[in-house]
């Protein structure tokens, strides 16, 4: 069967890690009799260099017409890049906001799973890790302070900046439904994270989430303040199943969760909407300092490709095969530099070698 996949290599290490994910997808296609038609578009700093904007309308149209979109990373070093001495809407990350909005993607799913083989890379104590943890962070993606009105003005000779944090009940309800649906397939527990002791948006968030919870009596709902959640992630990560939260809180908490897995290079993500079309990307950034050195960890991108097969293309068996291949490579002792330790028997490999090893095990 044929599928159209839009590729966005992007900036920094993006082209390197996307190339390895494509290598694995091509092996999947060969083994399972599929045909993946890949179309590359520009987004981020590379698009600014070529077109003057972080994402053209034509590139967005290509993404909209595909079955799924696989992204590497966008952006450079903030403050040290030619891409940042411009208005915010012309910076590389504005392309990411535009494509999320254009594809109507409102739910970001970020799994945080600790592989048995990577316990040594986890910064937490063994008594905290226990038998490991397996959680999903469900982040609302198109509302909140990142999309609210913003401006900077001078008031009585003093510069004043304002960023508006806004949510309506429909935005909250649709992401809550997604979280409860995923919880039904997992441990049937949702922890809704907010700041309801301070923010009106959080109080509305809590109200609507409780209304949605009534439709899922099998799922346990717990409310947790965001500052407490940040502490609990490093004190007792095993308590979490599905974390449901708003845009900015989710952005921060998902990065924290990624680090307790051993490396942000291991964390995949999916951005979904009301249709099957989704955007899949690793949770890490463009890492411009290691770009071109063939040392980046491609596993998060490869696992994002597995999520793409599962959620957008309904190819569960093929997604399972990729995830099993990743586990086997780790079990066999292969590591990129970010997850390398001094344990005996481990073998450090490059970015492209890791891609080869995973593809071989499909």
pLDDT tens sequence across 154-180:
999 999 999 999 999 999 999 999 999
Indicate whether 99 pLDDT > 70.
yes
Please tell me the predicted confidence (pLDDT) of residue 185: 86
Residue whose tokens read 């109080």: 203
Pairing of strands 334-335, 158-163: unpaired
146 as an active site residue: the answer is: yes
Average pLDDT over residues 333-337: 94
Distance between CA 61 and CA 141 in Å, rounded?
20
195 and 214 both lie in a single domain: yes
Indicate whether 17 pLDDT > 90.
yes
Which of 3, 115, 146, 167 does the annotation list as catalytic? 146
Q: How far is CA 209 from CA 66, 203, 241, 251, in A?
A: 32, 10, 16, 19
Average pLDDT over residues 191-208: 98
147 and 246 both lie in a single domain: yes
358 and 277 both lie in a single domain: yes
Please tell me the predicted confidence (pLDDT) of residue 339: 86
Kindly state the DSSP code that residue 118 receives in the 8-state scheme: G
Phi, psi (5° rounding) for residue 24?
Answer: -70, -40
Say if residues 36 and 1 touch (Cβ distance below 8 Å).
Answer: no
233 and 145 both lie in a single domain: yes
Burial (Cβ within 10 Å: 0-12, 13-18, ≥19) of residue 242 = buried
Say if residues 122 and 114 touch (Cβ distance below 8 Å).
Answer: yes
Indicate whether 247 pLDDT > 90.
yes
Which of 11, 195, 216, 241 does the annotation list as catalytic? 195
Mean pLDDT in the chain? Answer: 93
Please tell me the predicted confidence (pLDDT) of residue 78: 67
Please tell me the predicted confidence (pLDDT) of residue 151: 93
Please tell me the predicted confidence (pLDDT) of residue 69: 98
Which of 225, 241, 260 is the endpoint of a domain? Answer: 260
Please tell me the predicted confidence (pLDDT) of residue 25: 98
Range of the domain at 132: 123-260
Single out the residue of 304, 267, 260 nearest to residue 283, CA to CA. 267
157 and 248 both lie in a single domain: yes
132 and 243 both lie in a single domain: yes
Burial (Cβ within 10 Å: 0-12, 13-18, ≥19) of residue 32 = middle
Distance between CA 322 and CA 304 in Å, rounded?
10
pLDDT tens sequence across 58-96:
999 999 999 999 999 999 876 656 888 888 888 998 999
215 as an active site residue: the answer is: no
164 and 54 both lie in a single domain: no
To the nearest 10°, the Cα dihedral for 75, 319, 181, 98? 20
Number of domains in the chain: 2
Indicate whether 37 pLDDT > 90.
yes
128 and 253 both lie in a single domain: yes
129 and 91 both lie in a single domain: no
- Strand, coil or helix: 222: strand
Please tell me the predicted confidence (pLDDT) of residue 90: 87
Please tell me the predicted confidence (pLDDT) of residue 82: 81
Q: How far is CA 285 from CA 60, 112, 157, in A?
A: 21, 16, 37
Where does the pLDDT of residue 259 fall: very low under 50, low under 70, confident under 90, or very high at 90 and above? confident
Average pLDDT over residues 246-267: 87
Please tell me the predicted confidence (pLDDT) of residue 289: 93
Indicate whether 13 pLDDT > 70.
yes
Tokens of 322: 């990729």
130 and 254 both lie in a single domain: yes
Tokens of 317: 């068996």
Where does the pLDDT of residue 198 fall: very low under 50, low under 70, confident under 90, or very high at 90 and above? very high
Which of 67, 134, 255, 294 does the annotation list as catalytic? 255
Instruction: Provide the percentage of residues in the chain whose pLDDT is more than 90.
Output: 80
Which of 260, 283, 311 is the endpoint of a domain? Answer: 260
Indicate whether 265 pLDDT > 80.
no
Say if residues 72 and 95 touch (Cβ distance below 8 Å).
Answer: no
Average pLDDT over residues 297-310: 96
Which of 165, 194, 241, 251 does the annotation list as catalytic? 251
Say if residues 72 and 288 touch (Cβ distance below 8 Å).
Answer: no
pLDDT tens sequence across 106-160:
999 999 988 888 887 788 898 999 888 999 999 999 899 988 999 999 999 999 9
Which DSSP helix (H) or strand (E) runs through 1? Answer: none
What's the pTM value of the predicted model, to 2 decimals? 0.84
107 and 42 both lie in a single domain: yes
Pairing of strands 150-155, 158-163: antiparallel
Q: What is the CATH number of the domain that holds 199?
A: 3.40.718.10
pLDDT tens sequence across 211-243:
999 999 999 999 999 999 999 999 999 999 999
Which of 215, 233, 260 is the endpoint of a domain? Answer: 260
251 as an active site residue: the answer is: yes
128 and 246 both lie in a single domain: yes
- Strand, coil or helix: 321: helix
**Contacting residues for 209 by C-beta, under 8 A, at least 6 apart:** 172, 176, 190, 192, 221, 223, 244
């Amino acid at each position: 069967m044929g599928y159209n996949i839009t590729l966005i290599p992007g900036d920094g290490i993006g082209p390197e890690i996307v190339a390895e994910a494509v290598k694995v997808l091509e092996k999947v296609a060969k083994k399972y009799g599929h045909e993946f038609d890949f179309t590359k578009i520009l987004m981020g700093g590379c698009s600014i260099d070529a077109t003057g904007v972080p994402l053209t309308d034509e590139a967005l149209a290509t993404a909209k017409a595909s079955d799924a979109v696989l992204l590497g990373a966008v952006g450079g070093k903030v403050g040290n890049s030619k891409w940042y001495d411009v208005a915010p809407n012309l910076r590389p990350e504005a392309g990411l906001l535009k494509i999320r909005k254009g594809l109507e993607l409102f739910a970001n799913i970020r799994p945080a799973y600790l592989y048995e083989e990577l316990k040594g890379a986890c910064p937490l104590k063994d008594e905290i890790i226990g038998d490991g943890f397996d959680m999903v962070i469900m982040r609302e993606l198109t509302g909140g302070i990142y999309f609210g009105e913003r401006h900077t003005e001078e008031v009585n000779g003093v510069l004043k900046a304002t960023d508006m944090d806004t949510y309506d009940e429909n935005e909250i309800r649709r992401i809550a439904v997604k979280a409860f649906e995923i919880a039904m397939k997992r441990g049937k527990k949702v922890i809704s994270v907010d700041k309801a002791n301070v923010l009106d948006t959080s109080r509305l968030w809590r109200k609507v989430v409780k209304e949605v919870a009534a439709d899922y009596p099998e799922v346990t709902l717990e409310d947790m303040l965001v500052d407490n959640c940040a502490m609990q992630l490093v004190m007792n990560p095993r308590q979490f199943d599905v974390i449901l939260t708003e845009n900015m809180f989710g952005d921060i908490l998902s990065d924290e969760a990624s680090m307790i897995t051993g490396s942000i290079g291991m964390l995949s993500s999916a951005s979904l909407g009301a249709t099957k079309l989704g955007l899949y990307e690793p949770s890490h950034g463009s890492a411009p300092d290691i770009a071109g050195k063939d040392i980046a960890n491609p596993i998060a991108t490869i696992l994002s490709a597995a999520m793409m097969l599962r959620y957008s293309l309904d190819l569960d068996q093929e997604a399972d095969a990729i995830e099993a291949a990743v586990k086997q490579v780790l079990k066999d002792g292969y590591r990129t530099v970010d997850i390398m330790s001094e344990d005996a028997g481990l073998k450090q490999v490059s970015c492209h070698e890791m891609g080869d090893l995973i593809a071989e095990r499909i």
